[in-house]
Structure 1
Amino acid sequence: MAGTIRTIQRGGSRWYVDPVTAIKYPGVTSVVAMLPKPFLVWWAARMTAETAVANLPAVASIAERDEAGAVDYLRNAHSRYTKLRARIGSEAHDLFERMIRGEIIGRVHPDLEPYRAGFAEFLDAVRPELVRAEDIAWSDSHQYAGSFDAIIRVRLGEDGKPDHVNGEWHTLIVDWKTSKSTYPDVALQMAAYAHADKIIAPDGTAEPMPEFAGAAVLHITPEGWAFKPVDISRDVFDVFLTLRKVFDWDRETSKSVIGRAIAEGARRIITGTQRRA
């Protein structure tokens, strides 16, 4: 494989495309998104209600001139919040990569300073050695791909905590999370990366996915940070593979399972009175 892997958006999902073969695989996060998340409905409703209560005079003023505009302002409250969090998360990830590569970081935007400070504390406490960062995990075996945050080596003691003197070296695949909490589906995401066939670098060169001693997620917020182990066992990976089948069902199979009618009832009769009306 040679050439830069590119990504495209189709049907609300991200796809990774091999520039040579034109093979197209869905992204790991798009596959994990097949998990049902009914709580999002209630979260979006609450976000709308909180926006209305916090901005009653403004909403009333908008509604007097443009009722539809006021409705749009409220119903898009959750989307605006999500976009803001996505922007901060993306900028924080860029910052983390530069820091773990050893770049000297000067001043950052005040919104990012808590994340910079927290990541600096993590680097000092755990002392990770970077192996790879922001490369692509690619699976021809199960037809998916995705960009992982980093592969690192750390020295851990028998208790699983950092031990920079007597600890043994462990190779871990890691993920940086800046959300309010860490959620179980991160295990599905990381298991997919760890069980992929190979790693593809930005220049298109590939090598086999290494063996991992485990996985971990760094959950970092303005309030603090925590480095937590993540289960990427075969059992977890099998759940991801089930979602991979659900993805195919949702995008392809479901569109062809119902055929054309082989019998139909008569159309409703239209009376002369109805025609004249």
Structure 2
Amino acid sequence: MAGVSTIKRGGSRFYVDPDDGRIKVPGVTSIAGMAPKDFLTYWNAKIVAETAVEHRDTVLKLAERDPAGAVDYLKGAPRRYTRAASDLGSAAHDMFERQARGDTINPRHVHADIKPHVRWFDEFLQEIQPEFLHLEETVWSDEHLYAGSFDAIARIDGEVVLLDWKTSKAVYDSVALQLSAYRYANRIILAETGESVDVPAMTGGAVLHVRPEGWQFVPVECGEEVFRAFLALREVFDWERDGKKGVVGRPIAKGGEQETGTMRRAA
């Protein structure tokens, strides 16, 4: 059976073993997502505040007739922003894969929002001249029970490296965790045939960061030390999903004048 299917459970992505559908392992991105993201608290507040200011007329009119709706509109601002960025990133990734495979791209069929990205990716191909060994394949770790989909493995200037395409505002450190997980997985499951092949030895990883205004090729450390951090998050994933369930038991003794819901109703 070719390819590897995925499912979503509890907000996390799981990969289904193509040989045994009973085996499901968490995805690399979901595991890397276990790392603390304190900055998101401030980012969410910033997006909500900007939405309130930039769309104040809309918010005020909505608040007059539907206060709860106005609150929901503002609360949903970060989610809408993230979804729009994700949609743009997905569309750009699709084009990047086609360009990497050598497909002819008709500019008239490219959405206006990603035309600059397509242009810069083509410039990257011409300038860096990567020789692609694998594109958009799935890695599987039998040893540590995880899987994930990488963008590319390529030979550049005689060295084999992992590549990741990014269209986000910045290159975030979490990409190092992802690349290390791909690098040290046990095998690649080929989408076309379902055959498993060894993950090639690599010297490192890099991000091609493509924005409307240009592109940059950024090296990323994804060696064994980074991989150990990823494996720690793999343990955290299991803890958050199952390990913490039931660790706090029922009281075996109590006293004082604690007021329970039952006592309040009885009063």
- Report the TM-score range of the alignment, normalised by the length of the smaller protein: over 0.9
Greater than 3 Å deviation, 4+ residue runs? 264-270, 272-276
Equivalence map 1:94-133=2 (5 Å): 94-107=94-107, 108-133=110-135
1:220 is aligned to 210
Cα pair distance change 1:274/1:37, threshold 3 Å: closer
1:260 is aligned to 250
Q: Deviations over 1:69-89 (max 9, x none)?
A: 111111111100000000000
Alpha-carbon distance, 1:19 to partner:
3.4
The percentage of aligned residue pairs carrying the same residue is 49
> Is 1:181 aligned to residue 177 of structure 2?
no
What is the letter of the counterpart of residue 234 of structure 1? E
Q: Deviations over 1:120-179 (max 9, x none)?
A: 110010011111111101001011100000111112xxxxxxxxxxxxx11111000000
Q: Deviations over 1:25-81 (max 9, x none)?
A: 100000000111011011011100100101111111111111111111111111000
The CA distance in 2 between the partners of 1:273 and 1:186, in whole Å, is 52
3-state SS of the aligned residue for 2:93? helix
Alpha-carbon distance, 1:189 to partner:
0.5
Equivalent pairs, count: 261
2:159 is aligned to 170
Alpha-carbon distance, 1:269 to partner:
8.8
> Is 1:64 aligned to residue 47 of structure 2?
no
Cα pair distance change 1:124/1:257, threshold 3 Å: same
1:5 is aligned to 4
Alpha-carbon distance, 1:273 to partner:
11
Whether the 8 Å CA contact 1:8–1:14 is kept in 2: the answer is yes
3-state SS of the aligned residue for 1:255? coil
The CA distance in 2 between the partners of 1:113 and 1:57, in whole Å, is 33
Whether the 8 Å CA contact 1:215–1:230 is kept in 2: the answer is yes
3-state SS of the aligned residue for 2:188? strand
3-state SS of the aligned residue for 1:149? strand
Whether the 8 Å CA contact 2:2–2:190 is kept in 1: the answer is no
3-state SS of the aligned residue for 2:112? coil
What is the letter of the counterpart of residue 49 of structure 1? A
Structure 1 gaps of 5+ residues are 156-168
Structure 2 gaps of 5+ residues are none
1:165 is aligned to none
**TM-score (norm: length of structure 2):** 0.93
What is the letter of the counterpart of residue 247 of structure 1? F
Cα pair distance change 1:125/1:72, threshold 3 Å: same
3-state SS of the aligned residue for 2:120? helix
What is the letter of the counterpart of residue 53 of structure 2? V
Whether the 8 Å CA contact 1:129–1:152 is kept in 2: the answer is yes
Equivalence map 1:182-197=2 (5 Å): 182-197=171-186
Cα pair distance change 1:20/1:56, threshold 3 Å: same
1:159 is aligned to none
The CA distance in 2 between the partners of 1:261 and 1:98, in whole Å, is 60
1:163 is aligned to none
Alpha-carbon distance, 1:23 to partner:
1.0
Q: Pick from 236, 241, 258: which aligns with 1:251?
A: 241
The CA distance in 2 between the partners of 1:40 and 1:135, in whole Å, is 30
3-state SS of the aligned residue for 2:154? strand
> Is 1:74 aligned to residue 74 of structure 2?
yes
Moved more, 30-39 or 16-25: 16-25
2:16 is aligned to 17
Cα pair distance change 1:62/1:140, threshold 3 Å: same
What is the letter of the counterpart of residue 188 of structure 2? I
Whether the 8 Å CA contact 2:186–2:198 is kept in 1: the answer is yes
Q: Deviations over 1:237-275 (max 9, x none)?
A: 0010011011111111111322232223476499x9986
CA RMSD of aligned residues (A): 1.9
